Amino acid sequence: MPDRTRIEQDSLGEVSVPADALYGAQTQRAVNNFHISHQPLPPTFIRAIAQIKQASAKANHELGLLSEEFTNAIARACDQVIQGNFPGTYEQQFPVDIYQTGSGTSSNMNVNEVITQLVKRKTHLEVSANDHVNMGQSSNDVIPSAIHVAASEMVKHQLMPALDHLLKILEQRAQELSGIVKTGRTHLMDAMPVTFEQEISGWKALALHDRQRFQQCMERLNSLAIGGTAVGTGTNTHRDFAIKVCEHLHQTTGITFKPSDNFFASLSLPSAALELSSTLKSLATT
């Protein structure tokens, strides 16, 4: 017996969507077209997009572009996505394959559609995924911004505390073993005497250098592409939109984000994300 479905419609026509899906036509088309890895985007990334949607709604309200009623409804729906407080699982409601359209349009619209449906289930408002939830945004600036937001939160709240704990334990063990001498080895052969304190001090220094690299990288990772819209020109958004989005993201994350100093660069190459990847590899090698 076939699963229950409903019919959704977009500019390309009608498409069949699972009856219990919160998403709509554009998400379903992506699911139909991209059978590649069967690996969806992780919840941390989806939550970051929802955080940007929430900050964007509040920014547009402050700029006089979105009513208070629409803003509050969208913000509440974003909270549901951020907290995972919605019917089904992240994998069920955000099923788009990680290999998709180049700009991540499918995932951006997936989040827009879910937020829209959550609003419609609790209010009488005719919210549009494009005109309201995605107001002043483009997949081209939302997706790289979401990568930065998700990565920044994970570095601040998970990686750095773990690294600080490691440094503390290394210092503790170095002191505990300060008087113990061992044989230093090079090329798998005995070389010169060395204390455990000396050896561990090398490990600690390497980890400390990586920590410093993370701090330096975070300055660039906290710079967001949001506000550049489709190609970096900022078309179809208010000139103060980007700074206000960053202010609201700071309120919810505790991280000081700022608009990119050049949207064309931010939309062209994820250099800060690549720098973070390189620093993670350095730490792994350490």
What's the pLDDT band for 101 if we cut at 50, 70, 90?
confident
DSSP state of 18: E
What does the pLDDT average to over 134-144? 97
3-state DSSP call for residue 69? helix
> Helix (H, G, I), strand (E, B), or coil: what is residue 257?
coil
Average pLDDT over residues 161-186: 95
> How sure is the predictor about 247, in pLDDT bands with cuts at 50, 70 and 90?
very high
Which strand (E) or helix (H) includes residue 19? Answer: none
Would you state the CATH architecture of domain 142-285?
Answer: Up-down Bundle (1.20)
Domain boundaries, the chain: 5-135, 142-285
Query: What CA–CA distance (Å, rounded) separates 93 from 79?
Result: 15
DSSP secondary structure letter of residue 97 = B
Model pTM above 0.85: yes
pLDDT in tens, 212-242: 999 999 999 999 999 999 999 999 999 999 9
pLDDT band at 15 (very low <50, low <70, confident <90, very high): very high
Mean pLDDT score, 6-17: 90
Q: Tell me the pLDDT of the chain averaged across its residues.
A: 95
Measuring CA to CA, how many Å separate 153 from each of 46, 51, 180, 268? 13, 12, 40, 23
Decide if 103 contacts 140 (C-beta within 8 A): yes
Q: Which residues contact 193 (CB under 8 A, 6 or more apart)?
A: 181, 182, 183, 184
Categorize the per-residue pLDDT at 1 as very low, low, confident or very high, splitting at 50, 70 and 90: very low
Alpha-carbon torsion angle 105, 61, 247, 241, nearest 10: 60
Which CATH number is correct for 5-135, 3.40.50.620, 1.10.275.10, 3.20.20.140, 3.90.1150.10?
1.10.275.10
Q: Evaluate whether 225 touches 266 at the Cβ level (below 8 Å).
A: yes
Environment class of residue 179 by beta-carbon count within 10 Å: exposed (0-12), middle (13-18) or buried (19+)? exposed
* Count of Cβ atoms closer than 10 Å to residue 140 Cβ: 22
Across 13-38, average pLDDT: 94
pLDDT of residue 102: 82
**pLDDT tens readout for residues 60-91:** 999 999 999 999 999 999 999 999 999 999 99
* pLDDT tens string 182-211: 999 999 899 999 999 999 999 999 999 999
pLDDT of amino acid 134: 98
